[in-house]
Amino acid sequence: NVSTMLNYCSGKDDYKDMNDDRKKNVLDERWPDLTIDKADCIEYQVFWKHEYNKHGTCCSKSYNQEQYFDLAMALKDKFDLLTSHRSHGISPGNSYTVQKINSTIKTITKGYPNLSC
């Protein structure tokens, strides 16, 4: 939705802790919390809770929480931005303008990113 920010749509904490160990491990492999260790990420789920409450609640009429995370991982696989950025000359550890990164993401996904520093 290019006309509005899709953040915190429900205005409340709608996240339900995940209990399926296999799903938690898969999610940690593909969408890890980079600020804490794996065990704490899986146990406390703070990062996933934040992401779901901020973004997932905006699609809760179409997708439940499990479907939201499955869709997020499918999109990550479809648009492997790290590999795609490298193929467009953008690599970790270097500095680029927001415009350069935005235009590269738009080229890759055909969508309009909204990045800022």
57-114 confidence digits (pLDDT tens): 999 999 999 999 999 999 888 888 888 889 999 998 899 998 899 899 899 888 888 7
Number of domains in the chain: 2
Tokens of 24: 């938690």
Number of other residues whose CB lies within 10 A of the CB of residue 37: 10
- 40's tokens: 């704490």
Q: Nearest-CA neighbor of 88 among 108, 117, 71?
A: 108
pLDDT of 81 reads 80
CB 81 within 8 A of CB 91: no
Q: Which pLDDT tens digit goes with each residue over 1-11? A: 556 777 899 88
Is the domain of 64 the same as that of 87? no
Six token digits for residue 94: 């270097």
Tokens found for residue 111:
């969508």
Q: What angle do CA 63, 84, 47 make, to 5 degrees?
A: 45
Closest CA to 52 of 93, 88, 7: 7
Same domain, 74 and 52: yes
- What pLDDT digit, counting tens, does each position of 31-42 carry? 999 999 999 999
Q: Which of 83, 82, 54 is nearest to 68 (CA)?
A: 54
The maximal CA–CA distance of the chain, rounded, in angstroms, is 41
Q: What value does the mean pLDDT take over residues 16-22?
A: 96
70 with 34, same domain?
A: yes
Domain range holding 25? 21-78
